[in-house]
Each structure stands twice: as C-alpha cells, then as structure tokens.
Structure 1
Amino acid sequence: MMEKNSFPISHEHSLTMDYVKAFGMIFVLVGHINNDIFNVYYAYLFHMPLFFFIGGVLYKDTRCITNFTAHVIKKQLPYLIVTYLIIGSIALLINVRYGIHTGDAFSTGLYETVKLAIKSNFHNNKMFLTGWFLFAYIFVSFLSVIIIKSIKRVVVSNALLLSVLVAISVLLITVSITYLSPQYILVKDYKLNFICQVLTGMSFYIFGYVIRNQIYNLLNFYVFILLTVILYVSKSYGFSTQTIMSWSYYPDGLIMSVINALIGIYAVFFISLLITRGMKEIKLLKMIGQNSRAIMAYHLLVYVILDIIASILGDYSLSGTDVYDNHFITKWSVPVYIALGLLLPLIFSILKQKVIGKIKFKRDFRIN
C-alpha cells in the first residue's frame, strides 16, 4: 500500500479527485484523435463510465431530492444550452468559410433545434459531441440520488444499504447492456439509446457512491499491476475491444464491458493517488481537473482551429474533411493537439470565471 505524505486526508482526497478528472479528460482528448498513445488503457474502454463514477464518489448526501435536482438543473442545463449555441454558431461559420463538415446544429426554430439535438444524440453539432454526456448526466445524477435517498429511508443498516445499492447498480447495467443495447442497435430508436445511456450512467454513479469511502483503501500497486496484465491479455485475445457509451454499443458484452471499465477506473484512481502522495501539488493538473467541463466542451473546436492553421501553413488540405473523423495527424502534431486541446479551453474557462467574478463584485458593490 502507498505511504501517505503530509496532506490532510480531506485535502488529499480532494486533490486526488482533481487529478482523476484531469486524467479522465486526457483520455477523452486522446480518444477523439487518431493515435496509439495508450495501447493497453484504450480510452473507449472506460473513459465515459469514469465520469459517471466520479459523480457518485463526489455526491454529498446533504441536500433533499428537490433541492439537489434544482441544483443540478441550474448548474448543468444553462451551461449545456449556452455552449451548444456558441459552438454551433462557430461551427456554422467554419463550415461556410472553410467547407469543413461541422454538422447541422440548428433547425428551423427553437423547438425543432432542441428536437434535432436530442434525436441526433447531440452529434448533429459535431464540435460538441460531448453534449450527450452533459444532457444524460442531468438525468443520471438526480435519478441516482432519488434511488439512494429512497433506499436510505427504508434500510437502516449501512451494510444492507450498500448491498441493496450494489444490487440495483448490477440490475441497471444488466438491463441496459444485455437487453436495451441490442434492441437499440436493431431499431435505432433514439429514446432507447438515451434510456440505455442513463441506466448505464446510473449504475456507475451509484457504485461510485457505494465505495466512495473505501476506494482509496482499495488502491494497491500489486493490484494495479495485476489488473494491467489482465487487461493487456484480454485485449490481446480480443476480449476487450471498446465501449461506445454514447451510442449504447457494447461489443464485449456485459461482463467484459464492466470489467474493462472498472479496471480503467481503478488505474486512473491509483495513478492519481500515487501522484498526490508522491509529489508536490501539480497546479496545472489540478486546474485541468477543476475545469474539466470546459475542456470536454471545447476541445474539438481547438482541434478544428489547429486543422485550419495547418491548412494555412500548407501542410494540410481541408477539402472534404470532417470535424470528428479528420485531423492533421503527424508524429509531432498529436501531442500538440492534445496539449492545446487541454490548455486553450482551460485558459478560456479561467478568464471567463475572472470576468464573471468581476461582474458579480461590481454588482454587489453597487447594491451595497
């Protein structure tokens, strides 16, 4: 087991969670550009389940259901709408100016645009593919909390409570992957896809809540090595291929999809805690974790801007390119894309927070 450093336990866990979110974002960015950086810990085995799991770990059981639901909607929905409009508008300009396929973010009116986004799984706005996650997360979080609080009202024993929640988590993901996912693949009904997303997300959210107090005690170097070997062998024999949670695609089946996700989650938590206990605070990594939502939202826009710069320099042709499928890929460009995909949205997010802070300060000053 890892030795502890001088961090207070609350600070240690908080910093570790920031690192976990940061590494999660790195895997998201790596997964959205053609590369072979992570041969064993392939992003599409675990990166989206990781973020739902994080939600459960971070959930603080202090608000009533109504208060919590209002808080989630107030925090997530305006951000989703504003970001969709910003990126969609920029995408439209890029398409007109450079001919890059950016999708159709807008329809004939507000209602039609909302319907288009939901029915298209937000993939109609190709520079905002992660919109599906932000939308699903709203439902995952408050539905999971309803279940958690409802069970807590009935079950007094903590051990029994956790056992019931684990059983519910298993039931949700079994229904999602075993029954709903194949049905969606067959009929392509967007409602089935959304339900599948939510049930799978709830499963990881609830499980994250269940082990939130024990997870740091479970992290062990030898277990990490063993799980890495298991994943390597499983990938080598074709048992671990990918999990496309956004489209409810689980080709490895229920058991392997869950194992793959949990191994990836374990690895990210282990490495994050290892860094927390073994090094001084890495401020950049911490800030990436704290601003993960902005990075998730805007990194594809950064990729496209870099494509445009490459075309201006004469190294890349934009003719017939697609926002998601085509980028300027060379041995040196991949790390540049990933680094700037992290840093530029981070800078934007920090500047936005400072501007909002100054506006609030001036408003409060005038009131007083």
Structure 2
Amino acid sequence: MEKIGVRDKTIDIAKGIGIIIVVWGHIGQDFILKNEIFLFHMPLFFLLSGYFFKDKGLTFIDVFKKRIQSYIIPYFVFFIIILLCFILLYVSIGYADKIYLSPKIIIQPYGVVRALWFLLSLFEVHIGYYFIAKYIRKEWIQSSVCLLCLILSHIAFRCGISLPLYIDSSLSMMIFFHIGYLMHKYRILDSLKYSLLLLVVCVLFYIAGIIGKIEIDVMVNKIEGNLLLAFLAAFGGAYIVLYVSLLLKKYNKISFINSTLNYLGRNTLTIFSMHLLCIEVARCLFKFPLSIDATILDGIYTTVWGILGSLIIGIPIKKYILPYIRIIR
C-alpha cells in the first residue's frame, strides 16, 4: 500500500481506466457495450472516492467547507465555462435557434453539462457518509444503513419518485462509497492471492448481471431487474477494473501505459466535466458520426478526442482558475 501523502498508483490507474470507459459509454444511446459499461462505471467511481475517505475526525463545518471547495466550486466553474463554449459553438455554426436553456439546468444539468451531476452527488455522498462514519461506530450497522439507503432509493425508483439534486442517486451509491472505505481500511488489494479469489467471484457476478439483463443508470436512479443481482454485478465490474489496475501496477513493463493511465486518473474530474462538450464539438465541426451510424473505429476516435479535448481545455481551468477561487475559508 502507498505511504501516507503519496498517491496510490493502483487507484489512479483504476480511475484512468474508468474515465476511458465513461467517455466510451457516453458516445451515444445504444452504442456498443453501453449497457455493460453502465452496469458498473459509476459505482466504480463512488467506490474509488470512498477508498480515501478521511473526514471522520473533522468537524462538520470543516467537512462542509472542504467538500464545497472540492465539488461545488468546480461544478459552477465548469458549468459556466462549458455552457458559454456550447453557446458560442452553436451560434458560430448557425444553430442558435436550437439552443434551449431552462432555469432548472443549474440544479439538474442536461445536454453538454449533464455529466456535472456527478459532482453534486459526490458532495451529497461525502456529507451523508460523514455522519454515518462519525456517529455509528459498529461497521455492521454502518453497512446496514448504507444498504438501507440503496433499498430506499430503489423503492423510490419503483414508485416513480424522483428526489431533487440527485439525492436518490446519492443514496444508492452510499454503499459503494462505504465498500471503498472498507477495502482501504482492511487492505483488500494488498494480497494478490486473496484478491484473485475475489476476482473469480466478481467476474461471475458481472456475467450474471449481463445475462440477467440488468440495466443501471445511476444519474436517473434507474435499476431495472433484481436489486441484489444489480448490486453484485456493479461491484463485480468495479472490482474487475481494480484488479486489472493492480496487475498493471505490479507487472506491466510498458511504462507508457501506466503513466498514461496515471495521468488520466489524476485528471478524471476535468475529463468527466468536459468530455461531452468535446464530443459535441467533434460532431458539429469535424462531422464525427452520431452513435447510430458509428463504427467501433469511430468510437475509438471519439473517445480519444473526448479525452484529449477535455485535457486541452480543462487543464488550464484546473491549474489557473480553480486554485484561486476560495469562496469559503
């Protein structure tokens, strides 16, 4: 395990793999492997976020300030910049009449800013889990509460109830955040032998989810099919990515692959926020095909462009704008 103060390369590699999967999954409706990706890609990121949860010893005010800075400020900064770029793009190509902006877009982002929902949900999960970890000492009770959150969220979905600000989605992801925290605490990834045994089980879970036609879309709190199987398949897919990352860190001799995935992993927030805008730019200016007409090769081009474009536009924002915005001190 990495020393305190040093980034865990396994997790960065997992984030790098995860963000590539996310961009591919957002190429379009019903594109190749979309359902298989949606089965686990968001649970993976919530699990990875929980892996480094360390807020339990802080006061609520400190946690609140910290997470406002981590998620809410980037949310609004990226929201404004992406929306301005989108408007400029559509006006410049004569699509001004196709721009539709509703006031609700601020708290329920759609279109090229819809990926920003993840930042709102991460904020809610961090705050919610802080209270669970701080005030419930027994881990089995913590686990039970997180599972109850998942069940309540699923009941809301089945009843057609949609909570504001993605609260229902956040409730469903609390258990994966908790699992990430426990995996770090008990060093689950330290032993390849035991990790391999868990991998075999997780592969079976994931395959069962695909065969069972489980459909998951965390943003809209959608879980179609058996809830238990959906949970196991989502965890299974997330763990497969973690195990592949562990193998790459330990045995991969091609440093370019690891360094690239590490770099992407350190910039997932930027890519996550910007990639939908970059894909839209590619389709409007460079005539990249819509998903209905796209081939696998088109998907690769679009994914690479979405990632590179996000880094080109987003890294200056991350480096020169976000560090200087300190609304709460």
User: Kindly tell me: are residues 98 and 253 of structure 1, through their superposed partners in 2, closer, same or farther at Cα, counting changes over 3 Å?
Assistant: farther
The residue matched to 1:73 in structure 2 has which SS? helix
Aligned CA distance change for structure 1 residues 306 and 139 (closer, same or farther; 3 Å): same
Where does residue 19 of structure 1 map in the other structure?
13
Which residue in 1 is equivalent to 2:295? 330
Displacement after TM superposition at 1:343 (Å) = 2.1
1:222 Cα shift? 4.7
Deviation at 1:240, TM superposition (A): 3.6
The structural deviation recorded for 1:28 is: 0.8
Q: Which letter maps to 1:203?
A: I
**Any gaps of 5 or more consecutive residues in structure 2?**
none
CA contact (8 A) 1:91 1:102 kept: no
2-side partners of 1:12 and 1:267: how far apart?
24
**Where do 1:84-103 residues align within 5 Å?**
84-96=79-91, 97-99=93-95
Q: Does 1:275 align with 2:248?
A: yes
Cα RMSD (Å) of the superposition? 3.0
1:51 positional shift? 1.4
Structure 1, unpaired ranges of 5+: 1-6, 108-112, 153-160, 317-324, 361-368
d(CA) in 2 for partners of 1:225, 1:14:
24
- 2:53–2:181: 8 Å Cα contact kept in structure 1? yes
Q: Secondary structure at the match of 2:185?
A: coil
- Tell me which of 303, 309, 317 is aligned to 1:344: 309
- With the length of structure 1 as denominator, give the TM-score of the two structures: 0.76
1:148 is displaced (CA, Å) by: 0.7
Of residues 136, 145, 157, the one that matches 1:151 is 136
Residue 201 to residue 16, structure 1, CA distance change in 2 (3 Å) = same
Partner of 2:206: 231
Distance (whole Å) between structure 2 residues aligned to residue 358 and residue 180 of structure 1: 38
Taking the TM superposition and a 5 Å limit, the aligned residue runs for 1:24-173 are: 24-34=18-28, 38=33, 42-61=36-55, 62-96=57-91, 97-99=93-95, 104-105=100-101, 107=102, 113=103, 115-118=104-107, 121-123=108-110, 126-152=111-137, 161-173=138-150
Higher relative contact order, structure no. (Cα contacts within 8 Å, ≥ 6 residues apart): 2
Q: Which residue type is aligned with residue 343 of structure 1?
A: L
- The structure whose Rg is larger is 1
For residue 357 of structure 1, report the CA deviation from its aligned partner.
Answer: 10
Is 1:241 the counterpart of 2:206 in the alignment?
Answer: no
Please list, as runs of the form range in 1=range in 2, the aligned pairs for 1:176-191 lying within 5 A after superposition: 176-177=153-154, 179-184=155-160, 189-191=162-164
Task: Report how far residue 100 of structure 1 moved.
Answer: 8.7
Counterpart Cα distance in 1 of 2:166 and 2:233: 22
Give the corresponding residue for 1:304: 280
In structure 2, what residue type is equivalent to 1:92?
A: I
Contact 2:25 2:31 in 1 (8 A): no
What CA distance in whole angstroms lies between the structure 1 residues aligned with 2:292 and 2:36?
A: 19
Output the CA distance in 2 between the equivalents of 1:349 and 1:194.
25
Instruction: Describe the shift of the 1:11–1:190 C-alpha distance in structure 2 as closer, same or farther (beyond 3 A).
Output: closer
For residue 233 of structure 2, what is the amino acid of its counterpart? N
- Indicate how the Cα distance of structure 1 residues 212 and 231 shifts in structure 2: closer, same or farther if over 3 A, else same: same
How high is the TM-score relative to the length of structure 2? 0.84
AA aligned to 1:224 is: L
Aligned residue for 2:286, secondary structure, equals: helix
Alpha-carbon distance, 1:15 to partner: 0.4
Deviation sequence 1:60-110 (CA, Å, 0-9, x none)? 2443222111100122111111111111122223333343997634x5xxx
- What amino acid sits opposite 2:239 in the alignment? Y
